Amino acid sequence: MGYSGLRVIYEALTGHKGWKPAWRDPAPQSEYDIVIVGGGGHGLATAYYLAREFGQARIAVLEKGWIGGGNVGRNTTIIRSNYLLDGNEPFYELSLRLWEGLEQELNFNAMVSQRGILNLVHTDAQRDAARRRGNAMILNGSDAELLDQDGVRALYPFLNFDDARFPIKGGLLHRRGGTVRHDGVAWGYARAADRRGVDIIQNCEVTGFRIENGRVRGVETSRGYIGAGKVGVAVAGSSSRVMQKAGLRLPIESHVLQAFVSEGLKPLIPGVITFGAGHFYCSQSDKGGLVFGGDIDMYNSYAQRGNLPVIEDVLEGGMALIPALGRVRLLRAWGGIMDMSMDGSPFIDRTGIEGLYFNGGWCYGGFKATPASGFCFAHLMATDRPHAVAGAYRLDRFRSGHMIDEKGQGAQPNLH
Protein backbone atom coordinates (compact mmCIF):
# COMPACT_ATOMS: atom_id res chain seq x y z
CA MET A 1 0.00 0.00 0.00
CA GLY A 2 1.37 3.41 -1.00
CA TYR A 3 1.12 6.25 1.53
CA SER A 4 -0.08 9.67 0.34
CA GLY A 5 -2.15 12.63 1.46
CA LEU A 6 -5.05 11.37 -0.64
CA ARG A 7 -4.83 7.98 1.07
CA VAL A 8 -5.03 9.65 4.50
CA ILE A 9 -8.14 11.59 3.44
CA TYR A 10 -9.74 8.47 1.94
CA GLU A 11 -9.08 6.42 5.09
CA ALA A 12 -10.36 9.23 7.31
CA LEU A 13 -13.63 9.27 5.38
CA THR A 14 -14.05 5.49 5.42
CA GLY A 15 -13.32 4.75 9.08
CA HIS A 16 -9.61 3.86 8.75
CA LYS A 17 -10.45 0.27 7.82
CA GLY A 18 -8.09 -0.04 4.87
CA TRP A 19 -4.68 0.35 6.57
CA LYS A 20 -2.53 -2.77 6.36
CA PRO A 21 0.39 -3.76 8.65
CA ALA A 22 3.51 -1.87 7.54
CA TRP A 23 5.50 -5.12 7.37
CA ARG A 24 4.77 -8.85 7.56
CA ASP A 25 5.47 -11.06 10.56
CA PRO A 26 7.01 -14.13 8.85
CA ALA A 27 8.24 -17.28 10.57
CA PRO A 28 11.99 -17.74 10.11
CA GLN A 29 13.00 -19.97 7.18
CA SER A 30 15.64 -22.64 7.64
CA GLU A 31 18.16 -20.81 5.46
CA TYR A 32 18.82 -17.41 3.87
CA ASP A 33 21.47 -16.04 1.51
CA ILE A 34 22.06 -13.15 3.92
CA VAL A 35 21.19 -12.77 7.59
CA ILE A 36 21.46 -9.39 9.28
CA VAL A 37 21.67 -9.54 13.07
CA GLY A 38 20.03 -6.49 14.69
CA GLY A 39 16.85 -4.73 13.59
CA GLY A 40 17.97 -1.21 14.46
CA GLY A 41 18.34 1.55 11.91
CA HIS A 42 21.62 0.21 10.56
CA GLY A 43 20.49 -3.41 10.20
CA LEU A 44 17.22 -2.46 8.50
CA ALA A 45 18.90 0.05 6.18
CA THR A 46 21.48 -2.60 5.25
CA ALA A 47 18.77 -5.10 4.35
CA TYR A 48 16.90 -2.49 2.33
CA TYR A 49 19.95 -1.43 0.29
CA LEU A 50 21.03 -5.05 -0.20
CA ALA A 51 17.68 -5.73 -1.82
CA ARG A 52 17.19 -2.44 -3.66
CA GLU A 53 20.67 -1.38 -4.67
CA PHE A 54 22.57 -4.64 -4.91
CA GLY A 55 19.83 -6.99 -6.15
CA GLN A 56 20.27 -9.48 -3.30
CA ALA A 57 17.41 -11.81 -2.34
CA ARG A 58 16.58 -14.23 0.48
CA ILE A 59 17.50 -11.77 3.22
CA ALA A 60 16.40 -11.85 6.86
CA VAL A 61 16.81 -9.31 9.64
CA LEU A 62 16.83 -10.96 13.08
CA GLU A 63 15.89 -8.68 15.98
CA LYS A 64 15.95 -9.89 19.56
CA GLY A 65 13.27 -7.42 20.68
CA TRP A 66 11.10 -5.20 18.52
CA ILE A 67 11.86 -2.84 15.64
CA GLY A 68 12.76 0.57 17.05
CA GLY A 69 13.40 -0.63 20.61
CA GLY A 70 17.16 -0.01 20.51
CA ASN A 71 19.12 3.17 20.05
CA VAL A 72 17.36 4.02 16.82
CA GLY A 73 14.31 4.81 18.95
CA ARG A 74 16.24 6.31 21.87
CA ASN A 75 18.43 8.97 20.31
CA THR A 76 18.06 12.74 20.17
CA THR A 77 17.37 12.62 16.42
CA ILE A 78 20.16 14.90 15.19
CA ILE A 79 21.56 14.50 11.69
CA ARG A 80 24.55 16.44 10.36
CA SER A 81 27.53 16.37 8.05
CA ASN A 82 30.01 18.44 10.03
CA TYR A 83 33.03 16.22 10.60
CA LEU A 84 36.64 17.33 10.26
CA LEU A 85 38.66 14.36 9.06
CA ASP A 86 38.85 12.87 5.57
CA GLY A 87 38.09 9.36 6.85
CA ASN A 88 34.74 10.63 8.18
CA GLU A 89 33.37 13.68 6.38
CA PRO A 90 32.75 12.14 2.91
CA PHE A 91 30.86 9.31 4.63
CA TYR A 92 28.63 11.66 6.62
CA GLU A 93 28.07 13.85 3.58
CA LEU A 94 26.84 10.79 1.67
CA SER A 95 24.56 10.05 4.61
CA LEU A 96 23.10 13.56 4.63
CA ARG A 97 22.45 13.36 0.89
CA LEU A 98 20.66 10.06 1.37
CA TRP A 99 18.58 11.62 4.17
CA GLU A 100 17.63 14.44 1.80
CA GLY A 101 15.85 12.03 -0.59
CA LEU A 102 14.89 9.35 1.90
CA GLU A 103 11.22 10.05 2.47
CA GLN A 104 10.39 10.03 -1.24
CA GLU A 105 12.45 6.91 -1.72
CA LEU A 106 10.87 4.99 1.16
CA ASN A 107 7.39 6.52 0.67
CA PHE A 108 7.38 7.19 4.41
CA ASN A 109 7.18 10.43 6.38
CA ALA A 110 10.25 10.25 8.61
CA MET A 111 9.94 13.99 9.37
CA VAL A 112 13.35 14.91 7.98
CA SER A 113 13.74 18.54 9.06
CA GLN A 114 16.85 20.46 7.95
CA ARG A 115 16.45 23.18 10.54
CA GLY A 116 20.19 23.84 10.97
CA ILE A 117 22.74 23.07 13.66
CA LEU A 118 24.69 25.75 15.47
CA ASN A 119 27.84 24.77 17.38
CA LEU A 120 28.62 27.67 19.71
CA VAL A 121 32.16 28.95 20.31
CA HIS A 122 33.26 30.67 23.51
CA THR A 123 36.98 31.30 23.01
CA ASP A 124 39.28 32.50 20.25
CA ALA A 125 40.84 29.03 20.02
CA GLN A 126 37.41 27.47 19.56
CA ARG A 127 36.67 29.97 16.81
CA ASP A 128 39.87 28.96 15.00
CA ALA A 129 38.94 25.29 15.34
CA ALA A 130 35.41 26.00 14.06
CA ARG A 131 36.83 27.87 11.06
CA ARG A 132 39.10 24.93 10.26
CA ARG A 133 36.24 22.43 10.60
CA GLY A 134 33.99 24.62 8.44
CA ASN A 135 36.64 24.71 5.71
CA ALA A 136 37.01 20.92 5.84
CA MET A 137 33.24 20.55 5.57
CA ILE A 138 33.03 22.87 2.55
CA LEU A 139 35.94 21.10 0.84
CA ASN A 140 33.99 17.85 1.20
CA GLY A 141 30.83 19.29 -0.33
CA SER A 142 29.00 20.16 2.90
CA ASP A 143 27.94 23.64 4.04
CA ALA A 144 29.24 25.80 6.88
CA GLU A 145 28.98 29.43 7.98
CA LEU A 146 30.93 31.07 10.76
CA LEU A 147 28.68 33.44 12.72
CA ASP A 148 29.84 36.24 15.02
CA GLN A 149 28.01 37.05 18.23
CA ASP A 150 25.44 39.24 16.47
CA GLY A 151 24.73 36.43 14.01
CA VAL A 152 24.05 34.02 16.88
CA ARG A 153 21.96 36.61 18.72
CA ALA A 154 19.76 37.10 15.65
CA LEU A 155 18.92 33.37 15.60
CA TYR A 156 18.81 32.67 19.34
CA PRO A 157 18.19 35.93 21.24
CA PHE A 158 17.32 34.09 24.49
CA LEU A 159 20.78 32.53 25.03
CA ASN A 160 22.89 33.78 27.92
CA PHE A 161 25.06 36.40 26.18
CA ASP A 162 25.50 39.05 28.83
CA ASP A 163 26.01 37.42 32.20
CA ALA A 164 27.77 34.22 31.21
CA ARG A 165 30.80 32.54 32.71
CA PHE A 166 31.64 31.41 29.15
CA PRO A 167 30.50 34.28 26.89
CA ILE A 168 29.24 33.28 23.46
CA LYS A 169 31.62 34.60 20.80
CA GLY A 170 29.92 33.11 17.75
CA GLY A 171 29.17 29.73 16.25
CA LEU A 172 29.55 27.42 13.30
CA LEU A 173 26.22 27.10 11.50
CA HIS A 174 25.50 24.01 9.38
CA ARG A 175 22.18 24.79 7.70
CA ARG A 176 21.58 21.37 6.13
CA GLY A 177 21.85 19.62 9.49
CA GLY A 178 18.72 19.06 11.56
CA THR A 179 16.51 16.37 13.01
CA VAL A 180 14.58 13.29 11.85
CA ARG A 181 11.88 11.37 13.67
CA HIS A 182 14.04 8.50 14.96
CA ASP A 183 11.66 5.56 15.20
CA GLY A 184 10.02 6.67 11.93
CA VAL A 185 13.36 5.85 10.29
CA ALA A 186 13.23 2.28 11.58
CA TRP A 187 9.61 1.88 10.50
CA GLY A 188 10.28 3.44 7.08
CA TYR A 189 13.24 1.17 6.33
CA ALA A 190 11.41 -1.88 7.74
CA ARG A 191 8.41 -1.27 5.53
CA ALA A 192 10.49 -0.61 2.42
CA ALA A 193 12.70 -3.67 3.02
CA ASP A 194 9.65 -5.86 3.62
CA ARG A 195 8.16 -4.69 0.33
CA ARG A 196 11.29 -5.98 -1.37
CA GLY A 197 10.90 -9.40 0.18
CA VAL A 198 13.15 -9.06 3.25
CA ASP A 199 11.91 -11.16 6.19
CA ILE A 200 11.92 -9.05 9.35
CA ILE A 201 11.82 -11.43 12.29
CA GLN A 202 11.25 -9.87 15.69
CA ASN A 203 11.66 -11.60 19.07
CA CYS A 204 14.48 -13.66 17.59
CA GLU A 205 17.73 -13.34 19.53
CA VAL A 206 20.96 -14.58 17.98
CA THR A 207 22.62 -16.71 20.65
CA GLY A 208 25.58 -18.09 18.70
CA PHE A 209 27.27 -18.56 15.35
CA ARG A 210 27.91 -21.83 13.57
CA ILE A 211 31.42 -21.59 12.14
CA GLU A 212 33.10 -24.43 10.21
CA ASN A 213 36.61 -24.34 8.77
CA GLY A 214 36.87 -20.57 9.25
CA ARG A 215 33.59 -19.88 7.49
CA VAL A 216 30.24 -18.86 8.98
CA ARG A 217 27.42 -21.30 8.13
CA GLY A 218 24.54 -19.80 10.08
CA VAL A 219 23.30 -18.51 13.42
CA GLU A 220 21.79 -20.14 16.49
CA THR A 221 18.74 -18.19 17.63
CA SER A 222 16.04 -18.29 20.29
CA ARG A 223 13.81 -19.58 17.45
CA GLY A 224 16.15 -22.28 16.25
CA TYR A 225 19.10 -22.59 13.89
CA ILE A 226 19.05 -20.48 10.71
CA GLY A 227 21.55 -21.21 7.93
CA ALA A 228 23.13 -18.28 6.08
CA GLY A 229 25.56 -17.73 3.22
CA LYS A 230 26.63 -14.43 4.77
CA VAL A 231 25.97 -12.88 8.17
CA GLY A 232 26.18 -9.15 8.92
CA VAL A 233 26.14 -8.01 12.55
CA ALA A 234 24.75 -4.52 13.31
CA VAL A 235 23.77 -4.62 16.98
CA ALA A 236 25.19 -1.25 18.17
CA GLY A 237 25.54 -1.29 21.99
CA SER A 238 25.53 -5.11 22.06
CA SER A 239 28.45 -5.40 19.59
CA SER A 240 31.02 -6.80 22.05
CA ARG A 241 28.60 -9.33 23.52
CA VAL A 242 27.39 -10.62 20.15
CA MET A 243 30.79 -10.75 18.44
CA GLN A 244 32.21 -12.54 21.47
CA LYS A 245 29.93 -15.44 20.50
CA ALA A 246 31.98 -15.71 17.30
CA GLY A 247 35.18 -15.63 19.35
CA LEU A 248 36.09 -12.03 18.43
CA ARG A 249 37.23 -9.28 20.80
CA LEU A 250 36.48 -5.75 19.60
CA PRO A 251 38.15 -2.37 20.28
CA ILE A 252 34.82 -1.22 21.75
CA GLU A 253 33.45 -0.47 25.22
CA SER A 254 29.76 -0.09 26.02
CA HIS A 255 28.63 3.02 27.93
CA VAL A 256 25.24 4.59 28.70
CA LEU A 257 24.09 7.84 27.13
CA GLN A 258 21.04 9.57 28.55
CA ALA A 259 18.55 11.90 26.89
CA PHE A 260 15.75 14.11 28.18
CA VAL A 261 12.53 15.67 26.94
CA SER A 262 10.58 18.50 28.55
CA GLU A 263 6.88 19.23 28.62
CA GLY A 264 5.52 20.66 25.35
CA LEU A 265 6.18 24.36 24.80
CA LYS A 266 5.27 26.87 22.11
CA PRO A 267 7.97 27.20 19.41
CA LEU A 268 11.16 28.42 21.09
CA ILE A 269 14.24 26.78 19.56
CA PRO A 270 14.31 26.95 15.76
CA GLY A 271 17.22 24.56 15.15
CA VAL A 272 19.74 22.47 17.09
CA ILE A 273 22.19 24.25 19.41
CA THR A 274 25.28 22.82 21.08
CA PHE A 275 27.01 24.49 24.01
CA GLY A 276 30.76 24.80 23.44
CA ALA A 277 31.78 25.15 27.08
CA GLY A 278 29.99 22.15 28.56
CA HIS A 279 28.18 19.04 27.45
CA PHE A 280 24.71 20.19 26.46
CA TYR A 281 22.78 20.20 23.21
CA CYS A 282 19.14 20.95 22.55
CA SER A 283 16.43 21.05 19.91
CA GLN A 284 12.65 21.23 20.00
CA SER A 285 10.48 18.41 18.74
CA ASP A 286 7.50 19.07 16.48
CA LYS A 287 5.26 18.24 19.48
CA GLY A 288 6.93 21.10 21.39
CA GLY A 289 9.14 19.20 23.86
CA LEU A 290 12.71 20.38 24.30
CA VAL A 291 14.91 17.38 23.50
CA PHE A 292 18.33 17.56 25.08
CA GLY A 293 21.32 15.58 26.26
CA GLY A 294 24.97 15.74 27.19
CA ASP A 295 27.79 13.40 28.04
CA ILE A 296 27.94 9.62 28.45
CA ASP A 297 27.83 8.22 31.97
CA MET A 298 31.59 7.49 31.95
CA TYR A 299 31.56 3.90 33.18
CA ASN A 300 31.02 0.66 31.29
CA SER A 301 27.47 -0.63 31.36
CA TYR A 302 24.87 -2.58 29.40
CA ALA A 303 21.96 -0.99 31.30
CA GLN A 304 19.55 1.16 29.33
CA ARG A 305 19.27 3.72 32.12
CA GLY A 306 21.68 6.25 33.56
CA ASN A 307 22.87 7.87 36.77
CA LEU A 308 21.96 11.09 38.58
CA PRO A 309 25.32 12.99 38.45
CA VAL A 310 25.11 13.14 34.64
CA ILE A 311 21.56 14.48 34.85
CA GLU A 312 22.83 17.24 37.13
CA ASP A 313 25.74 17.97 34.79
CA VAL A 314 23.50 18.17 31.69
CA LEU A 315 21.00 20.44 33.40
CA GLU A 316 23.77 22.72 34.70
CA GLY A 317 25.04 23.07 31.14
CA GLY A 318 21.52 23.80 29.95
CA MET A 319 20.95 26.46 32.61
CA ALA A 320 24.28 28.11 31.84
CA LEU A 321 23.30 28.43 28.17
CA ILE A 322 19.51 28.99 28.36
CA PRO A 323 18.55 30.39 31.77
CA ALA A 324 14.85 30.18 30.82
CA LEU A 325 15.18 26.38 31.06
CA GLY A 326 14.87 26.76 34.83
CA ARG A 327 11.12 27.26 34.42
CA VAL A 328 10.59 24.21 32.21
CA ARG A 329 9.38 20.89 33.63
CA LEU A 330 11.11 17.67 32.65
CA LEU A 331 8.80 15.04 31.17
CA ARG A 332 11.01 12.00 30.58
CA ALA A 333 14.60 10.76 30.69
CA TRP A 334 16.01 7.51 29.30
CA GLY A 335 19.27 5.84 28.34
CA GLY A 336 20.74 3.80 25.51
CA ILE A 337 23.89 1.67 25.26
CA MET A 338 26.67 3.22 23.20
CA ASP A 339 29.23 1.11 21.35
CA MET A 340 32.17 3.45 22.05
CA SER A 341 35.18 2.74 19.86
CA MET A 342 38.71 3.71 20.89
CA ASP A 343 38.92 6.66 18.48
CA GLY A 344 35.26 7.66 18.34
CA SER A 345 34.87 6.43 14.74
CA PRO A 346 32.95 3.39 13.53
CA PHE A 347 33.71 0.06 11.81
CA ILE A 348 32.25 -1.35 8.60
CA ASP A 349 34.46 -4.30 7.81
CA ARG A 350 34.94 -7.99 7.14
CA THR A 351 36.07 -10.11 10.06
CA GLY A 352 38.69 -12.87 9.99
CA ILE A 353 35.81 -15.35 9.63
CA GLU A 354 34.75 -15.79 6.03
CA GLY A 355 31.20 -14.61 5.39
CA LEU A 356 30.95 -12.76 8.73
CA TYR A 357 30.80 -8.95 8.51
CA PHE A 358 30.70 -6.34 11.26
CA ASN A 359 29.12 -2.89 11.53
CA GLY A 360 29.48 -1.02 14.84
CA GLY A 361 31.43 1.40 17.00
CA TRP A 362 28.97 4.22 16.27
CA CYS A 363 29.37 5.81 19.70
CA TYR A 364 26.68 8.45 20.18
CA GLY A 365 26.65 9.54 16.55
CA GLY A 366 25.24 6.60 14.65
CA PHE A 367 21.74 7.86 13.98
CA LYS A 368 22.84 10.42 11.41
CA ALA A 369 24.95 7.67 9.82
CA THR A 370 22.01 5.29 9.32
CA PRO A 371 21.50 5.67 5.54
CA ALA A 372 25.21 5.68 4.62
CA SER A 373 26.00 2.92 7.09
CA GLY A 374 23.31 0.72 5.57
CA PHE A 375 24.41 1.60 2.06
CA CYS A 376 28.12 0.98 2.68
CA PHE A 377 27.55 -2.20 4.70
CA ALA A 378 25.32 -3.53 1.93
CA HIS A 379 28.03 -2.62 -0.59
CA LEU A 380 30.64 -4.49 1.43
CA MET A 381 28.47 -7.57 1.94
CA ALA A 382 27.36 -7.73 -1.69
CA THR A 383 30.69 -7.02 -3.39
CA ASP A 384 33.25 -7.95 -0.71
CA ARG A 385 34.88 -4.55 -1.30
CA PRO A 386 34.55 -1.52 1.00
CA HIS A 387 32.63 1.44 -0.38
CA ALA A 388 34.92 4.37 -1.30
CA VAL A 389 33.66 6.59 1.55
CA ALA A 390 33.89 3.85 4.21
CA GLY A 391 37.35 2.50 3.40
CA ALA A 392 38.87 3.88 6.60
CA TYR A 393 36.45 2.06 8.91
CA ARG A 394 38.65 -0.99 9.27
CA LEU A 395 38.88 -3.18 12.34
CA ASP A 396 42.68 -3.33 12.14
CA ARG A 397 43.27 0.43 12.06
CA PHE A 398 44.66 0.52 15.61
CA ARG A 399 47.23 -2.10 14.75
CA SER A 400 48.27 -0.21 11.64
CA GLY A 401 48.21 3.19 13.40
CA HIS A 402 45.41 4.76 11.31
CA MET A 403 43.03 6.00 13.98
CA ILE A 404 40.29 8.41 12.86
CA ASP A 405 40.32 10.55 15.97
CA GLU A 406 38.10 13.64 15.41
CA LYS A 407 38.88 15.08 18.83
CA GLY A 408 42.56 14.16 19.03
CA GLN A 409 41.96 12.56 22.43
CA GLY A 410 43.80 9.29 21.85
CA ALA A 411 42.62 5.74 22.38
CA GLN A 412 40.25 6.48 25.26
CA PRO A 413 36.63 5.66 24.40
CA ASN A 414 34.87 7.72 27.05
CA LEU A 415 36.53 10.92 25.83
CA HIS A 416 35.12 10.69 22.31
Ligand X SMILES: Cc1cc2nc3c(=O)[nH]c(=O)nc-3n(C[C@H](O)[C@H](O)[C@H](O)COP(=O)(O)OP(=O)(O)OC[C@H]3O[C@@H](n4cnc5c(N)ncnc54)[C@H](O)[C@@H]3O)c2cc1C
Query: Interface with ligand X by CB under 6 A: which residues?
Result: 37-43, 62-65, 69-72, 74-78, 205-206, 234-238, 242, 257-259, 293, 336, 362, 364-368
- Residue 399 burial by CB count (10 A; 0-12/13-18/19+): exposed, middle or buried? exposed
Residue 226 or 235 having the CB closest to ligand X: 235
Residue nearest to ligand X (CB): 40
Residue 56 or 75 having the CB closest to ligand X: 75
Name the phi and psi angles at 408, rounded to 5: 65, 35
Residue 38 or 87 having the CB closest to ligand X: 38
Residue 71 or 262 having the CB closest to ligand X: 71
CB 23 within 8 A of CB 190: yes
Residue 152 or 226 having the CB closest to ligand X: 226
The terminus-to-terminus CA distance of the chain in angstroms comes to 43
CB 188 within 8 A of CB 106: yes
How far is 183 from 71, CA to CA, in rounded Å?
9
Go through 367-380 and write b for each residue having 16 or more CB atoms within 10 A of its CB, e for each that does not.
bbbbbbbbbbbbbb
Minimum CB distance to ligand X, residue 349 (Å)? 16
DSSP assignment of 145-212, as one string?
Answer: EEEEHHHHHHH-TTS--SS-SS---EEEEETT-EE--HHHHHHHHHHHHHHTT-EEE-S--EEEEEEE
Please report the beta strands in 203-355, taking only residues with DSSP state E, as ranges in sequence order. 206-212, 215-221, 224-233, 252-264, 272-274, 281-284, 289-300, 330-341, 347-350
Residue 56 or 81 having the CB closest to ligand X: 81
Minimum CB distance to ligand X, residue 139 (Å)? 22
Residue 72 or 173 having the CB closest to ligand X: 72
Residue 152 or 219 having the CB closest to ligand X: 219
Minimum CB distance to ligand X, residue 336 (Å)? 2
How far is 46 from 306, CA to CA, in rounded Å?
30
Minimum CB distance to ligand X, residue 310 (Å)? 11
Minimum CB distance to ligand X, residue 363 (Å)? 7
How far is 369 from 90, CA to CA, in rounded Å?
11
Minimum CB distance to ligand X, residue 328 (Å)? 19
Minimum CB distance to ligand X, residue 149 (Å)? 26
Please report the beta strands in 58-176, taking only residues with DSSP state E, as ranges in sequence order. 59-62, 78-79, 117-121, 145-148, 170-174
Minimum CB distance to ligand X, residue 180 (Å)? 9
